[in-house]
A and B are shown apart, each in its own frame.
Chain A
Amino acid sequence: MKIRYILLTLTIFLGVALLVAVSVQIRTEILQHQAAQRMVASNAVREHLLLNANALAQERSRTVRLLVSGEADARHREELQEARARVDATQEAAEQEIVERSSDLRDPARSLASLSGVARDLDALRQQADAYLSADPQNPGSEPVQRWFREATRLIDEVQSFRLTLLQQERPQDPALRAEAVLRTYGGVLSESIARNQAILTWALSRPGEINPAELEAVGRNVGRADLAWELIQSQLTAPLSPSVREAISAAHAKYDTTLSPVQQTLSNALQSQTRPAISAQEWYEIARQGLRSIANMQQELLRSSRDRLDLELAQSRRSVFLWSILLLCGFGAVLASALVVRLRVVRPLEALSSAMLRLAENDLSAPLPRQTRSDEIGEMSDALRVFKANAIRRQRSQQDKQMLHARLKDAYRQLRKDLEAAAVIQTTMLPPPSTLGDVRYCGLFRPSSLVAGDTYNVVRRSDGGIGFFQIDVAGHGAPAALVSVASHQILSQAILTRPDGMRLETLVERINADWPEGLPYFTMVVGEIDVGAQRAAIIQAGHPAPLLLRADGIVEPIGDGGFPVGMISSATYETLEFDFRPGDRLLVYSDGLVEAENREGEQFSEERLRGLVHEHAEGSTGILLDSLDRVLRKWRGSERLDDDLSVLMLERLSERTNVDAHL
């Protein structure tokens, strides 16, 4: 798997994981927000229902007061109308709230149906009450009032139970909110208890005789319920309530304990004992009304507190959703940005580097390198690649230079070798082939250590019939020695041929020696002349190995014990050695390359071995002797190559009887 896929997959995977986590959180927040909205909607509807229940209780009390007062008090009628208008307003507000928040409520249609049912029943009750009030006499019996009161109470209970159903559906999680809802319920119970007693006791005070014991029991029950409600309210004070709520509760409680409760107790006791109470119905009604108002104040405070809390919760959840949404957007942006950065800053440069590397690896030095002006690892890699390419180009150039140089050298070498080969041919053609001059037959062996040699020899016949010969070995070997050998060959040949009669051989050599240029290599030689007629020969040994004289009878003897080389000491003098050279005698002249030839162990062939070999072949012909010499020497060396130039010149004095052709 390529790095780019790994990096991009990793980035995208991490990004998706982040986005999923944030999305889950956003979903939770949205759910919470929706729950808060439902709570707010439920709370708002319940608030209106509570106010509606209170208003209904008020309407009930005022209706009862009118029914039992026995007089069509205009002010009371007006108050009843006000109470009815308040009931209608609160009911309408509740309906409107349900319609407006229908999306946040669980079953708005059923709620509206419940409300309209209450409204319908209420309408019937009102018509009933109006019928009683417009009848003459205006005072209905205790039975209808009682029935009407129960009916109205049932209606209020219905509204309260509807409210509790809503509360049941959306139970608040917050402890303070839950405590406030519970407190409102207890407050409702309390308020209803007081309102019922307000109506019943007003009735009892207005018509003392009409009240029956069941109603009086109801008064006692209501008092008990109110006390129980207060106890329950007290038990809820451990909840984290706001100070204003606590203040409203304690104010309402104080008002109840100091004003309403004692009066109610006194009235209850008086009615039980059938004594005339100290206060009128009117006074009682007013006291109860004030008590109810203080309870309503407490309820209002609770409602406001709940509303505030819910608004705060809603705002918080809304802000939370907003913040998480922003985070989601940021996360999305970050994922996109990191994918983009990975692609632009890592993947693409890596791809470019990788493709350039592959091309360089295939020796494609024209591959353009990606431009990187970065100081990170990719920049370093790019720099290294640049250096690598520069080195590769330099190497390639140097390789090409080397190859060109090699080719030129090869050419030059070929040319040189060609030249040397040509020179070798020329040098060889300068050497006389085996031949016979007069009564002297000669034969040579010539083996250069390289193509050309510093050795040379020649045999010439002077115009007076004398046979001159020489063998030269120029110091060193190779081309310089060969050039000098050619020069000395010419000089010696000419000198022998042009030597005037009477000029001694040593004089000739001394002149050549004296004239020899300082800078040229010196050479050793044997130069000699054979006087055929006198059967004598003379040689000068100039630093050359002593030639071997093979007598016709097989005796081998060296001639001479040395002499100065030519061209070394300009003032050198030479001596001529003269000896008999009769028919059958042979003279073997050789260069030091013969006796100094070394075998693999570094041992020289030596003069002793040469003399032994010559002695061994003394009976054989010159050709056989030279062939043997060549063969033995090759065997001695163990190789075709020689360290030094080697040449041998053999001269033989033919007997008068000897047939020339037979020897050749």
Chain B
Amino acid sequence: MLTSELRNNVLVVHVTEKRVDASKAPLFKDEMTRCIDDGHHQLVLDLSGVDFVDSSGLGAIVSCLKRLGPRGSLAVAGAKGAVSRLFTLTRMDKVFALHDTVDAAVEQLSA
């Protein structure tokens, strides 16, 4: 459900599923954890293809941030509509650096 590419030492992780809900959250968490454990500490999570994230999905995204801890940073790019509203509603816009585009997120992280 994830594809990733390295740009300027930043791992860009694209979510290929339209929904990140209770049924997809565990897989999402596993794959993200593997990326982090592989030594990538500068990550951009590209949610531009995602229409819906539920509470389980949000929990999975936050747990990735907690796993990364002070070692690095996880930026979120392309969140829109319901996803963007969820981030605002739960104040996660204060926790994650949100960017409109992946390029902007990469630029910010690699700076």
Interface of A toward B, CB cutoff 8 Å:
473, 475-477, 521-522, 524, 543-546, 561-565, 568-569, 572, 592, 596, 604, 644
Contacts and interface: CB of A to CB of B under 8 A. Distances in A.
B59 A562 contact: no
Interface of B: 22, 52, 54-56, 58-59, 62, 82, 88-91, 95
Nearest to A573: B91
A477 B55 CA distance: 10
A454 to B, nearest CB: 8
Contact of A473 (B22, B55, B91, B95): B55
20 contacts: A475-B58, A476-B55, A476-B59, A477-B22, A521-B59, A524-B55, A545-B89, A561-B88, A561-B89, A562-B88, A563-B90, A564-B90, A565-B55, A565-B58, A565-B90, A568-B62, A572-B91, A592-B54, A596-B54, A604-B82
Contacts, number: 48
Contacts of B95: 569
Given A477-B22, A604-B82, A564 B91 contact: yes
Contacts of A563: 90-91
5 closest Cβ pairs, A-B complex: A475-B55, A543-B90, A562-B89, A564-B91, A476-B56
B55 A592 contact: yes
Nearest to B22: A476
A543 B89 contact: yes
Contacts of B52: 596
Contacts of A572: 91
Given A477-B22, A543-B89, A561-B89, 17 more contacts: A475-B56, A475-B58, A476-B22, A476-B56, A476-B59, A521-B59, A522-B59, A524-B55, A524-B90, A561-B88, A562-B90, A563-B91, A564-B91, A568-B90, A572-B91, A592-B55, A596-B54
Nearest to A570: B66
A644 B88 CA distance: 21
A562 B93 CA distance: 11
A304 to B, nearest CB: 121
A596 B59 CA distance: 17
Contact of A475 (B59, B89, B91): B59
A492 to B, nearest CB: 18
A521 B57 CA distance: 12
A613 B7 CA distance: 48
A563 B87 CA distance: 10
A427 to B, nearest CB: 18
A477 B25 CA distance: 13
A601 to B, nearest CB: 13
B57 to A, nearest CB: 9
A130 to B, nearest CB: 152
A543 B93 CA distance: 12
A656 to B, nearest CB: 36
Contact of B54 (A543, A562, A568, A644): A644
A170 to B, nearest CB: 116
A521 B91 CA distance: 17
Nearest to B90: A543
A521 B58 CA distance: 11
Contacts of A544: 89
A475 B62 CA distance: 12
A574 to B, nearest CB: 10
A596 B21 CA distance: 12
A561 B89 CA distance: 6
Contacts of A521: 59
Contacts of A565: 55, 58, 90
Contacts of A644: 54
Nearest to B89: A562
A596 B62 CA distance: 21
A92 B91 CA distance: 156
B88 A568 contact: no
A324 to B, nearest CB: 94
A475 B29 CA distance: 15
A546 B91 CA distance: 13
Nearest to B95: A569
- Residue of A473, A545, A644 contacting most chain B CB atoms (<10 Å): A644
B59 to A, nearest CB: 5
Given A477-B22, A568-B62, A562 B91 contact: yes
Contacts of B82: 596, 604
A266 to B, nearest CB: 151
